[in-house]
Amino acid sequence: MMIKLFPLALWMLSGPSLQVDEPEPEPDAAALMREVRSVLAQQSYELTGQLEKARDKVPLKISKQLDTISFHFAEPTQIISLSLKDNRYELTEQDAGQKPKKLAQDRYGEKIRGTDVTYEDISQRFLYWPNPKLLGEEKLRITVLRDTWVVRLDNPRKLGPYGVVKIWIDKESKALLQVEGFDWQGRIVKRFEVIEAQKDKVFGMWLQAKMRIETIDQKGNRKEVTYMAMDRPVKRQ
């Protein structure tokens, strides 16, 4: 079974659930994260959809060309681009008629278009934090049952909304299946998880149709929720 990940947008699943008769040896956490980052650089595509919060719907187009992933918004025009060049991230923002500008570090915690998605979430810079720690393994059901590795990532700088991020990595494909962000006091404040999938004949894989993005209050209760609903992608050569 193969899973591909389009950041914050698309998981692909194909075939039956992978069965493992004997326990797998635990991987090196740093090597595992290098594999996760390499998934971001694969495929070229374009897809459309929307962010939904309460009754508000924000149209969104996502495109991936070479080493850049771009998030396109309209009314007003805004393009947020994530560069993955040289195995590093760089986030830029471009308004209508303007040149792209590097996003200031103190803006990474800002919400985008009134949703629960922040610039920090789009950048996924936690994937580059040093000294990752393997916490073990866990099964997740994303349409089918998946075996995952759970990794803890600690923010090396007191910058941004997350002091710690936990990620669930599909063992076979190394794609992210779930993400949880914790504040600087160790309280969970954000959770991303796929809740619907669809079979695509062109790709021959299961695609994420809807993802739930939860903002969680200090008592651990869901405070706000945004859904990301995506159409079938167009593959680019």
pLDDT in tens, 155-183: 998 888 999 999 999 888 787 889 999 99
9 falls in which pLDDT band (50, 70, 90)?
very low
C-alpha distance across the termini of the chain, in Å: 23
Which of 28, 2, 7, 3 minimizes the C-alpha distance to 230? 7
- On the question of pLDDT at 19 being above 50, the answer is no
Q: Which domains does the chain have, with CATH numbers?
A: 4-12+38-235 (2.50.20.10)
pLDDT band at 214 (very low <50, low <70, confident <90, very high): very high
Q: pTM of the full predicted structure?
A: 0.79
Share of the chain above pLDDT 70, in %: 78
What's the sign of the alpha-carbon dihedral 43, 102, 121, 226? negative
Main-chain phi, psi angles of 162, to 5 degrees: -110, 125
Measured over the CA atoms of residue 201, residue 204, residue 205 and residue 207, the dihedral's sign is negative
pLDDT digits (tens, 9 = 90+) for 41-95: 666 678 888 999 988 899 989 888 878 888 999 989 999 998 877 666 788 999 8
> Up-side HSE of residue 109: CA atoms within 13 Å toward CB?
13
pLDDT in tens, 98-122: 899 998 888 888 998 988 889 888 8
